[in-house]
C-alpha cells in the first residue's frame, strides 16, 4: 500500500482510559477510507502502532473488522489491509410523517438491506402505533431472511419525525404532530421491539444520512437544509450532529419569513411558504396521496406558472437563510436535500444561484458553497437507521473531553 496517500481520519489519544474513543476513531477511519493497513491507521489517527494492533485484534474478535490479502509495495514488507465487516452490526430506522411511516434496515457500512412503508391511519398514535410495530416486525423478518446474523447484532432503532419538540402546539395544527409528540412513543416502541430507541427530528435524520453515505460523508462542518413536508436544517459541527438543548437545533422552518415588500404577504413561519405542503396547496394536490411526488415531478417538468412562482419565492427565502447559516456556522458546504422530487430540487437549486455574498466566499474553498444531496422520500428513514450506527461507532469528542476532565480531578 502507498503509505503517502492522503487518509481521512480523526485523531485518537494515547492517554489512559480512552480505549473506547480510539476504537470509534479507527472504525470511523475504516468507514471513510474503505481499507487501511495498521501503519496507515497509526499514521492517520496519531495512535501508537501497539495501540492500533491491540484495537485491531479486539475489533477482529468482535466481528467488526476483517483482514484482506497482504499487499506488497516496493521492496518493503507486505502490509495487510483491514476493512469493516458489513455484517458486524445492524440497525433499523423509522420515519413517522403526517400520512406515512417508513422503515429501513442497514448494516454497519450503511447499505440498505430491507425497507417497508405503510399509510398511517388518520386517528393518530392510538391506532397508528400498531401499524408501526407491525411494519418494524415485517422489516426485521425481511432482514433476517437476508442476514440471519442480524438477530444478534442489532444496535438500536432510530426514530425520526417532524419537530420542533417540547413546545406548546394546537392539536389541529397540520405542521405540528402534537398528538404523536404527546404520546409515549419511545417507551411504547422500546417495549414493543426490545430495542434501544432514540428520537431525532427529520432534518437531523436527513443530515445523518448525508453524513454516513451522502454528500457530507467525511465532512466535519456541514449544514443540511431539509425541504420536505416542512423545512428544517441538520447541523454537522466538528464531525458530530448538533442537536441543541432540546433537540430543536436547526428548526429554520420556524423562522418568520420575510416576503418581498411588494407581495403584500404577512410574515409567517418560513415552512408555510417553503415546503412541499405549501406547494401541494398551491397545486391543489393532496399531501397524503401516495403518488404525490410523481405528480409534482410531472407538473414541474413542464412550464407551469404556479411552480415557477413557488420556486422563485422559495429561492428568495433560502438565499437569505443560506447566507445567515454561513455567517453563523462557517460550514465547509451547505447541502440541499429532502423528500422532494429530483426535478423540483434541480429547479430550486438553480434558482437559488447566484448565492448572496457571504463570508463563505474565500480562495481556500475546496467544496461548493451549496450542493444537492439526497432527493428521496426515503432519505429520512435512511438517516434514522444510520443514527444507531453512528451513536454506537462514531467518535464522540464530548465524551473524550469528559474523560480528560475526570482524569484531571
Q: What is the CATH number of the domain that holds 53?
A: 1.10.10.10
Q: Do 168 and 307 fall within a single domain?
A: no
Q: Do 248 and 344 fall within a single domain?
A: yes
Distances (CA, A) of 386 to 21, 203, 304, 345: 19, 13, 37, 23
Give the pLDDT confidence score for residue 327 in this predicted structure: 96
Q: Do 64 and 125 fall within a single domain?
A: no
pTM of the model: 0.84
C-beta neighbour count of 99 within 10 angstroms: 15
Q: Do 23 and 102 fall within a single domain?
A: no
Q: Do 221 and 324 fall within a single domain?
A: yes
Q: Do 247 and 276 fall within a single domain?
A: yes
Domain-ending residue, one of 58, 84, 110:
84
Q: Mean pLDDT of successive 10-residue segments in the chain (409 residues)?
A: 56 60 91 90 91 95 94 76 96 92 95 94 87 97 96 95 77 69 92 95 93 90 94 93 90 81 71 92 88 88 92 95 96 93 92 96 91 91 93 70 39
Least Cα distance to 333 among 368, 291, 286, 293 occurs for 368
Least Cα distance to 222 among 120, 77, 368 occurs for 368
Q: Do 246 and 358 fall within a single domain?
A: yes
Q: Do 99 and 158 fall within a single domain?
A: yes
Give the pLDDT confidence score for residue 267 in this predicted structure: 78
Q: Are 351 and 289 in contact (CB under 8 A)?
A: no
**DSSP code for 154:** E
Q: Are 267 and 257 in contact (CB under 8 A)?
A: yes
Cell numbers given for 311: 420556486
Distances (CA, A) of 98 to 35, 180, 219, 289, 313: 41, 10, 31, 11, 24
Is residue 325 assigned to a domain? Answer: yes
Is residue 192 assigned to a domain? Answer: yes
Is residue 311 assigned to a domain? Answer: yes
Is residue 49 assigned to a domain? Answer: yes
For residue 354, cis peptide bond before it (omega within 30 degrees of 0)? yes
Residue ranges of the alpha helices (H) in 245-354? 276-283, 292-300, 305-329, 342-352
Give the pLDDT confidence score for residue 405 in this predicted structure: 38
Rounded-to-10 torsion of CA 287, 290, 293, 299: -80
Domain-ending residue, one of 55, 84, 113:
84
| Distance, CA of 379 to CA of 338 (rounded, Å) | 7
C-beta neighbour count of 52 within 10 angstroms: 24
Cell numbers given for 121: 391511519
Domain-ending residue, one of 38, 67, 84:
84
Q: Do 141 and 226 fall within a single domain?
A: no
| Distance, CA of 319 to CA of 283 (rounded, Å) | 24
Is residue 402 assigned to a domain? Answer: no
Q: Do 56 and 120 fall within a single domain?
A: no
Give the pLDDT confidence score for residue 8 in this predicted structure: 63
Q: Do 305 and 330 fall within a single domain?
A: yes
DSSP class per residue in 75-120: TS--B-EEEE-GGG-EEEEEEE-SSEEEEEEEETT--EEEEEEEEP
Please enumerate in sequence order all residues whose Cβ is within 8 A of that of 26, keeping only pairs 6 or more positions apart, or say none: 12, 41, 45, 47, 52, 55, 56, 59
Is residue 399 assigned to a domain? Answer: no
SS3 of residue 174 by DSSP: coil
Give the pLDDT confidence score for residue 165 in this predicted structure: 83
Give the pLDDT confidence score for residue 371 in this predicted structure: 97
Indicate the number of domains in the chain.
3
Is residue 185 assigned to a domain? Answer: yes
For residue 250, give its domain range.
216-376
Is residue 294 assigned to a domain? Answer: yes
For residue 264, cis peptide bond before it (omega within 30 degrees of 0)? no
Q: Report the CATH number that the domain containing residue 175 is assigned in CATH.
A: 3.30.420.40
Q: Do 221 and 247 fall within a single domain?
A: yes
Amino acid at each position: 500500500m502507498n503509505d503517502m496517500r492522503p487518509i481521512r481520519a480523526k485523531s485518537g489519544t494515547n492517554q489512559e482510559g480512552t480505549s473506547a474513543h480510539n476504537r470509534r476513531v479507527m472504525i470511523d477511519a475504516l468507514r471513510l477510507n474503505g481499507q487501511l493497513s495498521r501503519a496507515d491507521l497509526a499514521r492517520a489517527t496519531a495512535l501508537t502502532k501497539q495501540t492500533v494492533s491491540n484495537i485491531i485484534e479486539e475489533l477482529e474478535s468482535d466481528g467488526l473488522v476483517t483482514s484482506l490479502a497482504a499487499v506488497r509495495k516496493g521492496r518493503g514488507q507486505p502490509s495487510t489491509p483491514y476493512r469493516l465487516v458489513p455484517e458486524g452490526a445492524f440497525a433499523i430506522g423509522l420515519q413517522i410523517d403526517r400520512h406515512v411511516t417508513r422503515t429501513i434496515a442497514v448494516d454497519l457500512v450503511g447499505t440498505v438491506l430491507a425497507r417497508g412503508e405503510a399509510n398511517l391511519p388518520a386517528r393518530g398514535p392510538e391506532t397508528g402505533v400498531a401499524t408501526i410495530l407491525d411494519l418494524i416486525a415485517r422489516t426485521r423478518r425481511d432482514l433476517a431472511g437476508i442476514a440471519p446474523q442480524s438477530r444478534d447484532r442489532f444496535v438500536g432503532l432510530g426514530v425520526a419525525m417532524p419537530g420542533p419538540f417540547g413546545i406548546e402546539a394546537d392539536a389541529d395544527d397540520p405542521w405540528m404532530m402534537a398528538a404523536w409528540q404527546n404520546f409515549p412513543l419511545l417507551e411504547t416502541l422500546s417495549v414493543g421491539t426490545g430495542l434501544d430507541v432514540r428520537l431525532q427530528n427529520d432534518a437531523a435524520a436527513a443530515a445523518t444520512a448525508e453524513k454516513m453515505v451522502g454528500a457530507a460523508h467525511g465532512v466535519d462542518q456541514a449544514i443540511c437544509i431539509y425541504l420536505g413536508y416542512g423545512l428544517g436544517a441538520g447541523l454537522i459541527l466538528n464531525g458530530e450532529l448538533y442537536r441543541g438543548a432540546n433537540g430543536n437545533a436547526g428548526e429554520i422552518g420556524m423562522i418568520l419569513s420575510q416576503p418581498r415588500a411588494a407581495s403584500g404577504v404577512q410574515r409567517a413561519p418560513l415552512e408555510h411558504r417553503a415546503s412541499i405542503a405549501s406547494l401541494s396547496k398551491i397545486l391543489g394536490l393532496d399531501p397524503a396521496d401516495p403518488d404525490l411526488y410523481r405528480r409534482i415531478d410531472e407538473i414541474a417538468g413542464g412550464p407551469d406558472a404556479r411552480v415557477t412562482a413557488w420556486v422563485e419565492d422559495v429561492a428568495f427565502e433560502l438565499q437569505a437563510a443560506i447566507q445567515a447559516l454561513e455567517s453563523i456556522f462557517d460550514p465547509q458546504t451547505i447541502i440541499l436535500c429532502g423528500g422532494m422530487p429530483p426535478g423540483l430540487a434541480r429547479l430550486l437549486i438553480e434558482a437559488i444561484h447566484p448565492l448572496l455574498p457571504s463570508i463563505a466566499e474565500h480562495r481556500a474553498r475546496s467544496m461548493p458553497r451549496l450542493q444537492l444531496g439526497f432527493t428521496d422520500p426515503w432519505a429520512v428513514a435512511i438517516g434514522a437507521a444510520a443514527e444507531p450506527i453512528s451513536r454506537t461507532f462514531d467518535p464522540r469528542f464530548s465524551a473524550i473531553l469528559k474523560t480528560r476532565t475526570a482524569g484531571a480531578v
